[in-house]
Each structure stands twice: as structure tokens, then as C-alpha cells.
Amino acid sequence: MRETKEMREVYRDFLLEHVEKREDLAVLEADLSSSMKTDSLKKKMGKRYINVGIMEAQMVGAAAGLSVTGLKPYIHTFGPFASRRVYDQVFISLAYAQLNATIIGSDAGVTAEMNGGTHMPFEELALMRIIPKATVYEAVDDIQFKAILEETLDSDGFNYIRTIRKTPYPIFNGTEDFSKGFVQITNGSDATIIASGIMVQYALEAVKILEERGISTSVINVFRIKPLPIELKELLSGQNIVTVENHNKIGGLGSAICELMDEQNVQVKRIGVDEQFGQVGKEAYLREVYGLTTEKIVEKVEEYIK
């Protein structure tokens, strides 16, 4: 297993790499710079680095203003504060105004752990997906996160990247092609598991168990959740599909796949958070509570085979 870099270190190093090459970059934080390790950027960036304090809506408004002047803002805060707390500002000031900005929402879903329900976002992908022309990602590991960040450098419009602060498990080795918005990790003939974020690891664990039981399963990591890669429609046609995500079953990856395949006469079984708020707890405990486990994935796939 390769040594991984924390996601927050990837973000900081990406900005450090490009800040001198790109005079149009601006970085905004809302009193969480130490959490994302961007506090070291102030000396290099000067006035292009802004920590507004605990004022997330004002941070988005400031980013909109910077974008109007020709700058390209990168905005970070925890997922719920990057989405539901600032939704009107994101929708109107950034997206409706057709401005360029990238928001990084960290501590996705159960990875918020001991910060509890108020800080545990199970809904932000749904909120961001319904913003017209928004591009929405969920990063799996450090290598993929870097690739997504690089893609946003020269993209126009509004981007949202869902991520976590640390990299719990390396999935990719750097040789993958991330240009399509998805990566097929394993090939199988009986069922296809579509996973995003931290759940890719558990999908791969499920594949090993299913293989021992004589069931051949594909795993596809869809990391660009909007717009969904159009190639998926043909790839998934006729497949037994299970989606798994660290997010509400409504409005996230599973919903997006159902929308994509609605005329393809395929069945989609979805694993995600079902009508529940977040709560305090360690990640392993919370995954059990919300049914985000390897065993649950195995169970859903086997429903097709029985």
C-alpha cells in the first residue's frame, strides 16, 4: 500500500504550487484555515488570501466580488457551511451571476465524526446538483483530489468539491485517466457497484467477499456527479446496479444514476443515509448506524442473484 497525503495537504500544496504561476488565484477561509492547513498561504498570497472569520455568507459574497474583478476564488469551509448555510449566496451571487469560483466542502458525511449532527452534511450534493450549470465532484483519495483541483483551474463557472480532511485509504496510484469523470476499477459480469467518496473502499471489500461466493462484480467510481459522464448510460445498460454513498439517498449519487438510467429499463438499488440526521460518533460506528458498510453492499448485490 502506498503512502498517502492528507486531503488538506493536497489542497494546500496545490495552491502553493500555482499561486506564483497564477496571479488570478484567490483563497478564502471562514476561520478554518488550520483545519485545511491553508494558514501557511498568507505570507505568499498577501491580499489574495482572506480569512473572513465565522461569516460564511459574507465569504461567498466576497468571492463573488473577487470573481467580478477577474480573480478565480477557491473557497473552503465544512460541507454544511459551504452549502446549506450559504445556499442563496452561492445560487445567486455566484451561479446565477455566471461567475467563476470553486467551493471545497470538507468533512463529508460521517467523516465529521465528533462534530456531530450540525456539522455532518448528508444533503449538500443534492443542493449543489440542482444549481443550473454547476459542476459537482466528490474526491476519493489524495491523487484524485489533486486531479480534480487541476481540472478546476481552467474551467469556467461554479464548481463544488466534496472532500474530507484526511485520506483514510489509497485507491488510485496516479496512472488512472480521470478525464471522463469516472473510473472503472474492477470488471464483473453479475452486478455493478457505483460508489463515491469513502465508500469506494468498502465497495472493493465487498467485491472480494462476493467473488468468494461466486459472484462477479464491477466497481465504478463516479467522482463527477454533475454533469454525469454520458458514457455511463451505455456502460450501465442492462446491468444490475447498486449505488453506495456517504450521503442522503435522496438527491446524491444514487438519484443521479436513476435519473440517467430512467429510460433504460434497469433496476437501481441504492445505499445511503435514509431519513436521518447526523450525530456524534466515530466514523466506524456511524457507518454501522447508517448502513454504510461492506456487509450492506454484499447484501444488496446478492438480492439480484437470489
Is the confidence at residue 142, as pLDDT, over 90?
yes
Distance of CA 187 to the CA centre of its chain: 23
**Bridge partner list, 78:** 106
With a pLDDT cut of 70, the percent of the chain lying above it is 100
Q: Helices (DSSP H) in 20-55: which residue ranges?
A: 42-45
Please indicate, yes or no, whether residues 37 and 120 belong to a single structural domain of this protein.
Answer: yes
Is residue 38 included in any domain, yes or no? yes
Domains: count for the chain: 2
Confidence grade of residue 220 (pLDDT, cut at 50, 70, 90): very high
The whole-number average pLDDT for the span 35-50 is 86
Please indicate, yes or no, whether residues 214 and 121 belong to a single structural domain of this protein.
Answer: no
pLDDT on residue 193? 98
pLDDT on residue 264? 80
| Domain range for 94 | 5-160
Please indicate, yes or no, whether residues 189 and 145 belong to a single structural domain of this protein.
Answer: no
pLDDT tens per residue across span 170-195: 999 999 999 999 999 999 999 999 99
Please indicate, yes or no, whether residues 155 and 184 belong to a single structural domain of this protein.
Answer: no
Confidence grade of residue 163 (pLDDT, cut at 50, 70, 90): very high
pLDDT on residue 165? 85
Burial class (CB in 10 A: 0-12, 13-18, 19+), 235: middle
**d(C-alpha 76, C-alpha 82), whole Å:** 7
pLDDT on residue 266? 86
Is the confidence at residue 69, as pLDDT, over 90?
yes
Please indicate, yes or no, whether residues 220 and 292 belong to a single structural domain of this protein.
Answer: yes
Q: In what order do the strands lie in the sheet with 241-248?
A: 182-186, 217-222, 191-195, 241-248, 268-273
Is the confidence at residue 263, as pLDDT, over 80?
no
Confidence grade of residue 262 (pLDDT, cut at 50, 70, 90): confident
Is residue 32 included in any domain, yes or no? yes
Q: What residue type is 238 in one-letter code?
A: G
Is the confidence at residue 200, as pLDDT, over 90?
yes
Please indicate, yes or no, whether residues 235 and 274 belong to a single structural domain of this protein.
Answer: yes
Please indicate, yes or no, whether residues 121 and 184 belong to a single structural domain of this protein.
Answer: no
pLDDT on residue 250? 96
**d(C-alpha 217, C-alpha 188), whole Å:** 4
**d(C-alpha 160, C-alpha 162), whole Å:** 7
The whole-number average pLDDT for the span 57-78 is 96
Please indicate, yes or no, whether residues 268 and 224 belong to a single structural domain of this protein.
Answer: yes
pLDDT tens per residue across span 82-139: 999 999 999 999 999 999 999 999 999 999 999 999 999 999 999 999 999 999 999 9
Confidence grade of residue 208 (pLDDT, cut at 50, 70, 90): very high
Please indicate, yes or no, whether residues 10 and 153 belong to a single structural domain of this protein.
Answer: yes
CATH code, domain carrying 298:
3.40.50.920
Is the confidence at residue 167, as pLDDT, over 90?
no
Please indicate, yes or no, whether residues 197 and 118 belong to a single structural domain of this protein.
Answer: no
